[in-house]
Amino acid sequence: MLSPRRSESCPGLVTHVLDALARGTVERGPHLRVFEARIAGLVQGRRRFPPDARATSSGLEAMAALLSALRVPAGARVVVPAYGHGGLVPFLRQLGYRVATVDVGEDHPFPTPALLDRACTPDTRCVVVSHLFGRAADIPALAVVARARGAVLIEDGGYALGARLAAEPVGSLADGATFRFDAGGAVHAFGGGIAIALESEAARRLPLFTDVPPSSAGEVLTRVLAEATGEAARTDLLRRLLAPILGSEPVRPLVDWLDGAVRLNPPEGPVRGLSNLQARLGLAALDDLPRRIEHRQGVARGLLGALGLQATGLALDAPDRWVPSDVVVRVPPGRDGSVMVRHLRKAGIVADHGAALADDAGALAGEERPGARSWLRRAIRLPGPAIQDAAEADRACAALQAFRGRLAI
């Protein structure tokens, strides 16, 4: 079942691409440093000066750059949440780190301070906590535990740029942060990521953009074209025309596989910088960011409202503001979300599991991680908040009303 469009379209995409080609600024140009400065300003928070930021060609490459800047040596023990993005653990292991997992809470998909304290050992040098679904983890409380254990804390911001916790911007709450700019986020730069170092010493160790080569012009243009074509195929009209074919039993497994094919794959080779064209497209998204956040919150409120649910973080002025990349709900305790996913799909609603277990190492060591496994069993991801077509959003809300009272946040 082909999902709705995952990101807002880029204003003037064709013009940006053609102009970059004409000027020879696809790979390098003036927009990259401006983009980095804009992101740093967004996460400045109460600091007197903006932190330093370096844009890379992927979110995982940004993580590698930040780990190096924070002097987390290879071989060190790194703790990550047991529930979240499945590509983070193999990536960290590829870099030579010893990875351990920490369980998440029953009420929210993040570690609690008590759980983190139990997971940290004397040789833990770093803790990575991921913000999920546009919601922010309680980084300040977790940072107290990590620092007491002698570890640095990194916010894996994902798509949560613009989110807030206690009125402070996500990305300003730990020792460093990373964000991603591929399809799914409000700032869509057709791939890429950014590493943010909040202390001057670590910032000086981030790779200079002059020392980090970007992807080639051919690679950048291929990626932009492929993603733009894929997103166009997700528009309401094309999806309705293709539905009889894509929804047929012989084809559906292949479509489901292709629809979920984007993974956090470990990058090969050294860290690469973000291309100038992608930075230019990211700047266009930043110019439109307040409207994009408001739109995503509005769609999420509508989907949750159809289920009889509310979330206080879905308002622009909320001190704990969500920037939803997904709308995630749960079946009651003891139920299996897979059954509900099938019911939702039969009703014409694109639904899938909320996330994945980050690693099974904890279970293999006899640590069951019950909170993470509960979220894996119960969480369901509904159509993305980036839905642009009002009629499509209305149809989704109408179909969800049949499930009112059967799901919870």
Residue 232: pLDDT band by 50, 70, 90 thresholds? low
User: What pTM did the predictor assign?
Assistant: 0.88
Which among 61, 28, 14, 45 is positioned nearest to 191, based on CA atoms?
Answer: 61
- pLDDT-based confidence at residue 263 (cuts at 50, 70, 90): very low
Q: Retrieve residue 208's tokens.
A: 């200079």
Which of 182, 216, 153 has its CA nearest to residue 60?
Answer: 182
DSSP for 341-375 reads: HHHHHHTT---EES-EES-SHHHHTT---HHHHHH
Question: Per-residue pLDDT tens for 79-130?
Answer: 999 998 778 888 899 999 999 999 999 889 999 999 999 999 999 999 999 9
* Mean pLDDT to the nearest integer, 61-76: 94
Write the pLDDT tens digit of every residue in 389-405. Answer: 788 889 899 999 999 99
Read off the pLDDT of each residue in 219-247 and give the average, rounded to a whole number. 66
pLDDT tens, residue by residue, 363-382: 656 677 899 989 999 999 99
Runs of H (alpha helix) within 261-403: 276-287, 289-306, 337-346, 361-364, 370-378, 390-400
How many angstroms separate the CA atoms of 212 and 319, rounded? 37
Confidence of residue 200 (pLDDT cuts 50, 70, 90): confident
In the predicted model, what is the mean pLDDT of residues 258-278?
Answer: 61
Fold of 1-288: Aspartate Aminotransferase; domain 2 (3.40.640)
Stretch (H or E) spanning 69: helix 59-69
Q: Point out the least confidently predicted range of 168-182, 215-229, 294-308, 327-341.
A: 215-229
Asked if residues 88 and 95 have their Cβ atoms less than 8 Å apart, the reply is: no
Given a cut of 90, is residue 223 above it in pLDDT? Answer: no
Q: Is the model's pLDDT at 241 over the cut of 60?
A: no
Cβ-count burial 92-107 (b if 16+ within 10 Å, e if not): beebebbbbbbbbbee
Q: Are 125 and 78 in contact (CB under 8 A)?
A: yes
